[in-house]
Amino acid sequence: MHGRRRPAWRRPDSLADSAGATCAFLNLPENTRTTTVESKTNFLRAVREGHVDAVARPLHRGRSFIVVDTDLLGHDGTRVGRTSQTQAVLPT
């Protein structure tokens, strides 16, 4: 899933967190909810202008956890960061 574009000067880790949580939510089994267990962001290069896009994809969809990987891309498509999240799958 693609996250909303944000100006480069805003918090790209917040964008990645939102995109990852949405990706996890969209991959939940019925009658469950999710919460973040762990989130780690690596910033690879600075972005001083333009926007940042987030592209999230599930790496693992289990009964107890969903692991999501999110790439942060600069306006030219260059990877500027990467976030890995573990989301717990909880009953409603």
pLDDT in tens, 58-91: 999 999 999 999 999 999 999 999 999 999 999 9
Question: Interior CA angle at 42 toward 58 and 11, to 5°?
Answer: 90
Specify the pLDDT at position 64: 97
**Model-wide pTM > 0.75:** yes
Fold of the domain built from segment(s) 6-91: Thiol Ester Dehydrase; Chain A (3.10.129)
SS3 state at 24: helix
Res. 20: pLDDT tops 90: yes
SS3 state at 67: strand
Alpha-helical (H) ranges within 1-92 are 12-26
79 secondary structure, DSSP code: E
Res. 9: pLDDT tops 90: no
Taking the domains of the chain in order of start, what are their residue ranges?
6-91
CA distance 62 to 65: 5
Phi, psi of 41 (to 5 degrees): -115, 130
